[in-house]
């Protein structure tokens, strides 16, 4: 479960305050030191932790909290609010164009879960009454096209492909025309990934972006890679510009450092989370619900 250790430690540190009644500044400082350690152990970005703790501490030693009858409750409320704000405050939705088809371009490193998530996203929107088309632009990874076809078959969603001999830019353009002809109101483009962020990959993604002008570029990152995921998000955002992040494999991530850092570091919201290998294991991301998971 995500935030396993963090939840225990934060609840422990804040629980101690509850038993104290009135709080002194030192009580708050001691608790914040524990909060800081817990966040660092959860692999949250160092600067994010520093800023977070500073903000919470400033709010907590204010008159309103210190003089209240239930100061510990106030502190917990403030931590909850700041955790929620760290993750973007409110749910960020995918932009659906008023002029269909809406085009979503999926990007990310190999193995992050791009192909699986393309399918999951198609399934998610199909349930909402959309008519998605999946477009197979990963011509480098052996079996990526087949994988997308299998996913499409399971979900009963059409998959457009031109094999692996055509250029990804041409496939993306042809996929878009195909969607318009066939009345698909949502196009999800599965692009190629690589093991590392590199210029060739970015150049290809930039060409697809400039040719098909997607409404959304969604970056898929693996939450289990912690701060690496945050670095990858920063690189993609700087080179390409992304509109949102899908954080996958949260079902296997016990720490949660990426979930807590990505928004603060990149200013881009997490829009969906992957919670398993099955095609319906995709959920919209709600910052307030995540914060509540941490604080119980």
Binding residues for GTP, as ranges, are 108-115, 190-194, 248-251
Nearest residue (CB) to ligand GDP, 65 versus 219: 219
Give the shortest CB-223-to-ligand GDP separation in angstroms: 8
User: By the 8 A CB rule, do 136 and 171 touch?
Assistant: yes
What does the alpha-carbon distance between residue 199 and residue 190 come to, in Å, rounded to a whole number?
19
Residue nearest to ligand GDP (CB): 274
Nearest residue (CB) to ligand GDP, 71 versus 119: 119
Give the shortest CB-286-to-ligand GDP separation in angstroms: 17
Task: Measure the CA dihedral 261/265/270/274, to 10°.
Answer: -50
Nearest residue (CB) to ligand GDP, 27 versus 190: 190
Q: Pick out the residues of the known binding site.
A: 108-115, 190-194, 248-251
Nearest residue (CB) to ligand GDP, 185 versus 216: 216
Give the shortest CB-119-to-ligand GDP separation in angstroms: 8
Nearest residue (CB) to ligand GDP, 36 versus 114: 114
Give the shortest CB-89-to-ligand GDP separation in angstroms: 24
Give the shortest CB-252-to-ligand GDP separation in angstroms: 5
Contact residues toward ligand GDP (CB under 6 A) are 108, 110-116, 193, 248-249, 251-252, 274-277, 281
């Amino acid at each position: 479960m995500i935030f396993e250790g963090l939840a225990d430690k934060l609840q422990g540190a804040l629980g101690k305050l509850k038993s104290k009644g009135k709080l002194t500044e030192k009580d708050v400082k001691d608790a914040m030191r524990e909060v800081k350690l817990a966040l660092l152990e959860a692999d949250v970005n160092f600067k994010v932790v520093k800023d977070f703790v500073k903000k919470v501490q400033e709010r907590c030693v204010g008159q309103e909290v210190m003089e209240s009858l239930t100061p510990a409750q106030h502190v917990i409320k403030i931590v909850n609010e700041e955790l929620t704000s760290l993750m973007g405050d409110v749910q960020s939705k995918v932009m659906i164009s008023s002029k269909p088809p809406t085009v979503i371009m999926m990007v990310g490193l190999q193995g992050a879960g791009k192909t699986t998530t393309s399918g999951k996203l198609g399934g998610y929107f199909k349930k909402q009454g959309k008519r998605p088309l999946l477009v197979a632009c990963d011509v480098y990874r052996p079996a990526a096209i087949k994988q997308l076809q299998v996913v499409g078959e399971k979900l009963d969603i059409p998959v457009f492909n031109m094999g692996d001999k055509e250029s990804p830019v041409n496939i993306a353009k042809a996929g878009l025309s195909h969607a318009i002809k066939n009345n698909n109101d949502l196009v999800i483009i599965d692009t190629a990934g690589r093991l590392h962020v590199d210029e060739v990959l970015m150049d290809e993604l930039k060409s697809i972006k400039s040719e098909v002008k997607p409404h959304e570029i969604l970056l898929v990152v693996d939450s289990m890679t912690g701060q690496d995921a945050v670095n990858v998000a920063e690189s993609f955002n700087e080179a390409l510009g992304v509109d949102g992040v899908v954080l996958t494999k949260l079902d296997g991530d016990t720490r949660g450092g990426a979930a807590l850092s990505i928004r603060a570091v990149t200013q881009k919201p997490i829009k969906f989370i992957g919670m398993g290998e099955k095609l319906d294991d995709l959920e919209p991301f709600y910052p307030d619900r995540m914060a509540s998971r941490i604080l119980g």
